[in-house]
Structure 1
Amino acid sequence: MDENGVQSDRVKKPKFQKTWKEPQIGQRMGGEKNTARETVGEEPLSPCSRLFNSPDFNCAIIVIMGCKVKGNPPAIIDGLKHTLVNHPRFSSILIQEMKNGKKGKPSWVRTEVRVEDHVIVPDIDPNIENPDQYLEHYISKLTTVPMDFSKPLWEIHLLCLKTSNAESIGLLKIHHSLGDGMSLMSLFLACTRKTSDPEALPTVSVQRKQFGPSSYNGFFNKIWWLFVGLWFILRLVFNTFVDVLMFALTICFLRDTETPLLAKPGTELVPKRFVHRIISFDDVKLVKNAMKLTVNDVLLGVTQAGLSRYLSRRYDQEATPKLKESMRRIRLRSAIMINLRPNTGIEALADMMAKKSKCRWGNLFGYILLPFSVGLETDPLEYVRRAKVTVDRKKHSLEAVFSMAFFKLILKVLGLKASVVLVRKVIHNTTLTFSNVVGPKEEITFHGHPLSYIAPSVFGHPHALTVHFQSYEKKVIISVTADPTVIPDPHKMCDDFVESLKLIKSSVLERGLYEMEV
Structure 2
Amino acid sequence: MTDQQWSMTNQYQEEVPVSPVGQYFNSSALCIYIIGVLEFQVPLDESQAIPLLQRLFLPINPRFSSIMVEDRSGDKRWKKVDVNLKDHINIPLFPEFNSVKSYDKYFADYLSRIALEKLPEKRPLWEIHIVNYPTSNAASSLIFKLHHALGDGYSLMGALLSCLQRADDPSLSLSFPSVKPSKSVNKSFFSKFSTILSLAYNTIEDFWWGIMKSSVTEDDETPIRSGFKGMETRPVTISTTEFSLEQIKLIKSRLGVTINDVITGIFFCGIRLYMQEINNESRVANCTALVLLNTRDVEGYQSVDDMLNAKARGPWGNHISFLHVPVPKLENGRISNPLEFVWEAHSIIKRKKQSLVVPLTGMLLDIERKIKGHEAVAKRIHGTLSRSSMVITNLIGPSQPMSLANYPVKGLYFTLAGGPESLVISIISYMGVLRVTLKTEKHFINEDKLSSCLKTALEMILKAAMEIPQQTRS
Task: Provide TM-score, normalisation by structure 2.
Answer: 0.89
Match of 2:436 among 459, 471, 478: 478
Which is greater in Rg? 1
CA distance, structure 1, for counterparts of residue 50 and residue 240 of structure 2: 27
Q: Residue 502 in 1 paired to residue 474 in 2?
A: no
Report what 2:94 is aligned to: 124
> C-alpha separation between the residues in 1 aligned to 2:305 and 2:379?
38
Q: 1:371 corresponds to which residue?
A: 326
TM-score, normalised relative to structure 1: 0.82
| 1:315-330 superposed matches below 5 A | 315=279, 322=281, 327-328=283-284, 330=285
1:438 corresponds to? 396
Contact 2:28 2:375 in 1 (8 A): no
Alpha carbons of 1:210 and 1:514: their partners in 2 closer, same or farther (altered >3 Å)?
Answer: closer
CA distance in structure 1 between the aligned counterparts of 2:399 and 2:167, rounded to whole angstroms: 12
Aligned-partner SS, 2:407: coil
1:374–1:128: structure 2 CA closer, same or farther, 3 Å change rule? farther
Please say if residues 287 and 514 of structure 1, whose CA atoms lie closer than 8 Å, have aligned partners that are also in contact: no
Change (3 A) 1:368 1:210: same
Is there any run of 5+ residues in structure 2 with no aligned partner, and where? 1-11
Q: Tell me if the contact between 2:386 and 2:420 (Cα under 8 Å) persists in the aligned partners.
A: yes
How many Å separate the matches in 2 of 1:462 and 1:275?
18
- Deviation (angstroms), 1:361: 0.8
Amino acid at match of 2:250: L
- Residues 18-417 of structure 1: pairs in structure 2 closer than 5 A: 40-86=13-59, 87-97=61-71, 99=72, 104-125=74-95, 127=97, 129=99, 130-213=102-185, 224-262=187-225, 263-315=227-279, 322=281, 327-328=283-284, 330-342=285-297, 346-348=304-306, 360-375=315-330, 377-417=335-375
TM-aligned CA deviation for residue 232 of structure 1: 2.5
Equivalent residues of 1:93, 1:149 under 8 A apart: yes
Q: Distance in 2 between matches of 1:413 and 1:211?
A: 41
Once the two structures are superposed, residues 90-113 of structure 1 have per-residue CA deviations (whole angstroms, 9 ceiling, x without a partner) of 12111124x3xxx63110012233
CA contact (8 A) 1:49 1:176 kept: yes
Deviates more, 1:183-192 or 1:195-204: 183-192
Q: Deviations over 1:212-257 (max 9, x none)?
A: 24xxxxxxx6xx4444333322222211111001012223321112
Q: Is 1:365–1:400's contact at 8 Å kept on the other side of the alignment?
A: no
Shift of 1:128: 5.3
Render the CA deviation track for 1:388-420: whole Å, top value 9, x for unaligned: 111111111111111111111111101122212
Q: 1:287 to 1:95 in 2, by over 3 A?
A: same
Q: Distance in 2 between matches of 1:64 and 1:435?
A: 16
Matched residue pairs, number? 449
Inter-partner Cα distance in structure 2 for 1:496 and 1:382: 17
Describe the shift of the 1:74–1:229 C-alpha distance in structure 2 as closer, same or farther (beyond 3 A): farther
| Contact map agreement 1:349 1:359 (CA 8 A) in 2 | no
Give 1:301 deviation, angstroms.
0.7
TM-fit CA distance, 1:125: 4.6
CA deviation vs aligned residue, 1:251-295 (integer Å, no higher than 9, x gap): 332111221222311111112110001121111111111111211
Q: What's the secondary structure of 1:107's corresponding residue?
A: strand
Could you list the runs of 5+ residues in structure 1 that have no partner in the other structure?
A: 1-38, 214-220, 317-321, 353-357
Partner-residue secondary structure (3-state), 1:268: helix
Percentage identity across paired residues of the two chains: 25
Contact 1:433 1:463 in 2 (8 A): yes
The answer to which structure has the higher helix fraction is 2
Provide, for residues 469-506 of structure 1, a one-character-per-residue CA deviation record: whole Å limited to 9, x for no partner.
Answer: 1111111111100111431x112111111121122112
Distance 2:191 2:160 in 1: 41
SS at match of 1:198: coil
Distance verdict in 2 for CA 1:48–1:503, change over 3 Å: same
> For residue 96 of structure 1, what is the amino acid of its counterpart?
E
CA RMSD of aligned residues (A): 2.3
Residue aligning to 2:7: none
Deviation at 1:207, TM superposition (A): 1.7
CA distance in 2, matches of 1:238, 1:192: 46
Distance 2:57 2:14 in 1: 18
The 2-side partners of 1:422 and 1:342 are apart by 26
Contact map agreement 1:76 1:447 (CA 8 A) in 2: no
Paired with 2:314 and 2:217, the residues of 1 have a C-alpha distance of: 40
Deviation at 1:198? 1.2
Q: Is the contact between residue 190 and residue 201 of structure 1 (CA under 8 Å) also seen in structure 2?
A: no
The whole-number CA distance in structure 2 between the counterparts of 1:398 and 1:475 is 33
Moved more, 203-212 or 135-144: 203-212
Q: State the distance in 1 between where 2:17 and 2:222 align.
A: 41
How much does 1:60 deviate? 0.4
Contact 2:22 2:148 in 1 (8 A): yes
CA contact (8 A) 2:116 2:417 kept: no
Q: 1:248 to 1:120 in 2, by over 3 A?
A: same
Separation in 1, partners of 2:205, 2:401? 43
